[in-house]
Amino acid sequence: MSVPDDLKPIEAWTDDDIAARYDDPARAALRALEEGRRDGATRFVFVLPAEVSAASEAVRLLMLGAARQWESEGVTVNCVVGDDRRVVEFLASGAVTGKTL
């Protein structure tokens, strides 16, 4: 019986394991922000999984930085944990920025 990747001791993780769990989600969020701004987007809402992880926290911190940087330009950037459509719609309305719900 093999051990699932999620249960491998951290010492057994490869560079690809670490990238998939931590680096890739943050890079994808940064790419979404950069491409969105380049295309003129002014509302960003990241939907994060309910379980807390280092990758989710990295995306949340990236969101906070972008929210602070772009707030004066009328751009809002928020996160929702889980996926309640009403919460996403509220965050996308532009009423608030830099929030995690």
Residues 6+ apart with CB under 8 A from 71: 97, 98
Q: What is the pLDDT of residues 52-84, one digit of tens each?
A: 788 889 999 999 999 999 999 999 999 998 888
Q: What is the pLDDT of residues 16-47, one digit of tens each?
A: 888 888 889 999 999 999 999 999 999 999 99
**Residue 22 and residue 55 in contact, taking contact as beta carbons nearer than 8 Å:** yes
**Residue 60 and residue 77 in contact, taking contact as beta carbons nearer than 8 Å:** no
Helices (H), 1-101: 15-18, 24-38, 54-70, 85-92
pLDDT at 72: 96
Is residue 1's pLDDT more than 50? no
Would you give the DSSP letter of residue 50?
S
3-state SS assignment for residue 11: helix
